[in-house]
Structure 1
Amino acid sequence: MRKVSLMLVAALLLSTGSIFANDSKKGVEPSKSQNLSEQIGKFLNNNNFDEKHEGYSAQVLFMLNDKKEIVVLSVDTDKEDLEGFIKSRLNYKQVDLSNFEQGKKYTVSVRVAS
């Protein structure tokens, strides 16, 4: 029972990190540009992972520099191929955001699904 409750808390924390990576504010009309999570999803699409990689997951800690580029700080996973893939696809990719904070750290969860 204790393990189940710990897993639920971990899942809750992981999903909360994804929410904070969005670039939407309450009461403000969403901009024409996509939110940060959707842009990251597009960068990670079209990969070569197959069914044996399904279920791989990672926590990605990153920030945005003054040129609105993603700078990957860490990738928390035990799968080296997933870590390398995420770093190569995200590092220094420019995002389209109307307002952002330079140097603010974001966390996003990444999961391989078929």
Structure 2
Amino acid sequence: MKKIKVIYVALALLATMGVFANKGINIKMEKDLSSQIYEMLKQYPLELKSDDLTAEVRFTINNKGELVVLSVETQNDFLENYVKSRLNYKKVDVGHGGSGKIYKIPVRITA
């Protein structure tokens, strides 16, 4: 009975360490991905009629390493079309393990 308890504790420690190890890699990849998106949107400045435009972009990455925009939630149709045209099917560097997940990122464009 004592051996079973020791095995359970060891398995719990290994599972906990595995969860924490994977979390750091995902956070770094998401921050790198958001900086790549920032650079893609920054390359094409636009003239704004209002001071501040915001949107929430949902996207995934296909097996070719390209962004696929699923939706852009915003009140401004121009911003929606702008984000889709600048990001959809653009190549990003995510390494391995980035495809198949759905990401959500806020986008704010200021004048």
Cα distance, 1:113 vs structure 2:
1.4
Greater length-normalized contact order (CA 8 Å, ≥ 6 residues apart): 1
| Equivalent position amino acid for 1:103 in 2 | G
In the alignment, which residue of structure 2 is the partner of 1:59? 56
Matches within 5 A, 1:4-83: 25-26=23-24, 35-83=32-80
2:100 to 93, 100, 103: 103
Please, which runs of 5 or more residues in structure 2 have no aligned partner? Answer: 1-21
Cα distance, 1:100 vs structure 2:
2.6
Asked if the contact 1:53–1:112 (Cα under 8 Å) also holds between the matched residues in 2, the reply is: no
State the distance in 1 between where 2:108 and 2:25 align.
Answer: 30
Q: Output the TM-score relative to the length of structure 1.
A: 0.67
| Equivalent position amino acid for 2:62 in 1 | N
- 4+ aligned runs moved over 6 Å, structure 1: none
Looking at secondary structure, tell me which structure has more helix per residue. Answer: 2
Give me the identity figure in percent.
Answer: 40
Distance 1:91 1:27, change over 3 A: closer
Please, which runs of 5 or more residues in structure 1 have no aligned partner? Answer: 1-23
State the distance in 1 between where 2:93 and 2:43 align.
Answer: 20
In the alignment, which residue of structure 2 is the partner of 1:15? none
Aligned length: 88
Which one has a bigger Cα radius of gyration?
2
